[in-house]
């Protein structure tokens, strides 16, 4: 069983005496069984939204809180996000960002080719790498590429991008249903749960079979609203019941922290307005057309 955070201890008070992360029900080779799962997509160092989401999901009765990877990028003080996740003993699936930070790679494996996107991706990555402690980097190196659990009668496979590639983008408007269904069937699962795109969406694939993209807690989904989102899933009468849950948090406080850390104005604008300003090249035409930039 995954426990919620203990008490109201602020993450900044976490010390080296904090118990090491334990992987909860995933510590054994058995497939754990849960009733209600909250899935957090990319955190992108938004420790303020993460704290609100943990309290919210716990209050809604989730018995598993799960992070789908990409702890860093974009936001301030990456160690705070790591401390919150470790203290709450939330299992994490390895994202491309975590993989790069753990291994000290040259970039985030986001695959940008546009010079402007690469410029901002490099600022994010170098800041995050320089501000992530060796202990947290080692912890990130322990993240599995996938986690599997039973949600009632449904088997769920949780990944970052796709089961075949950690940094594969599965966009709503460009991913065919038969392709998704093939991924789910090949994995021997009923539900495929992922993130990496930053925009939440879901699609039924057949009786009891679904793809759910949890979106991101780190930044809004390019919709002109500063709220961020996570996904809540449970099984009802053999079918998946799920909802996307909006998270309101202290946007201005986060924006001020970002400014104090010297992070780009463009990132702060996204946090404040809900519109993406950078790293837009990976968006398909329809998703990009919904945004302002």
Query: What residue ranges bind Fe ion (CB under 5 A)?
Result: 70, 95-96, 196
CB of 283 to Fe ion, least distance (A): 14
Exposure on the CB side of residue 86, measured as CA atoms within 13 A: 25
99's CB contacts (< 8 A; 6+ apart) are: 105, 109, 140, 143, 166
Alpha carbon distance 222, 34 (integer Å): 32
CB of 107 to Fe ion, least distance (A): 12
Nearer to Fe ion, 95 or 274 (CB): 95
Nearer to Fe ion, 34 or 49 (CB): 49
CB of 155 to Fe ion, least distance (A): 24
**Residue nearest Fe ion, Cβ-based:** 196
Nearer to Fe ion, 70 or 235 (CB): 70
Nearer to Fe ion, 81 or 96 (CB): 96
Total residues found in the chain within this entry: 293
HEC profile of 3-18: CCCCCCCCHHHCCCCC
Q: Which of 45, 24, 20 is nearest to 98 (CA)?
A: 45
Nearer to Fe ion, 152 or 215 (CB): 215
CB of 153 to Fe ion, least distance (A): 30
CB of 246 to Fe ion, least distance (A): 21
CB of 170 to Fe ion, least distance (A): 11
Nearer to Fe ion, 87 or 96 (CB): 96
Nearer to Fe ion, 95 or 215 (CB): 95
């Amino acid at each position: 069983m995954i426990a919620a955070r203990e008490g109201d201890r602020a993450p900044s008070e976490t010390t080296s005496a904090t118990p090491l992360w334990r992987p909860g029900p995933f510590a054994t080779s058995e497939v754990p069984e849960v009733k209600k799962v909250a899935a957090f997509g990319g955190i992108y160092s938004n420790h303020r939204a993460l704290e609100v989401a943990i309290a919210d999901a716990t209050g809604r009765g989730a018995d598993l809180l799960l992070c789908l990877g990409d702890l860093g990028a974009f936001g301030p003080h990456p160690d705070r996000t790591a401390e919150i996740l470790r203290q709450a003993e939330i299992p994490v699936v390895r994202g491309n960002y975590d993989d790069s930070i753990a291994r000290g790679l040259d970039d985030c494996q986001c695959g940008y080719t546009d010079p402007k996107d690469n410029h901002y991706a490099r600022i994010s990555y170098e800041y995050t790498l320089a501000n992530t402690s060796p202990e947290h980097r080692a912890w990130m190196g322990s993240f599995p590429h996938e986690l599997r659990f039973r949600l009632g009668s449904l088997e769920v496979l949780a990944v970052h991008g796709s089961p075949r590639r950690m940094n594969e983008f599965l966009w709503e408007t460009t991913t065919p249903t038969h392709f998704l269904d093939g991924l789910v069937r090949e994995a021997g699962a009923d539900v495929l749960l992922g993130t990496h795109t930053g925009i939440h969406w879901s699609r039924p694939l057949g009786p009891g079979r679904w793809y759910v993209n949890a979106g991101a807690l780190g930044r809004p989904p390019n919709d002109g609203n500063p709220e961020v989102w996570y996904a809540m899933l449970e099984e009802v009468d053999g079918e998946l019941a799920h909802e996307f849950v909006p998270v309101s948090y202290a946007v201005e406080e986060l924006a001020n922290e970002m400014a104090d850390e010297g992070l780009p104005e463009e990132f702060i604008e996204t946090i404040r307005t809900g519109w993406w300003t950078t790293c837009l090249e990976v968006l398909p035409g329809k998703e990009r057309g919904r945004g302002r930039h």
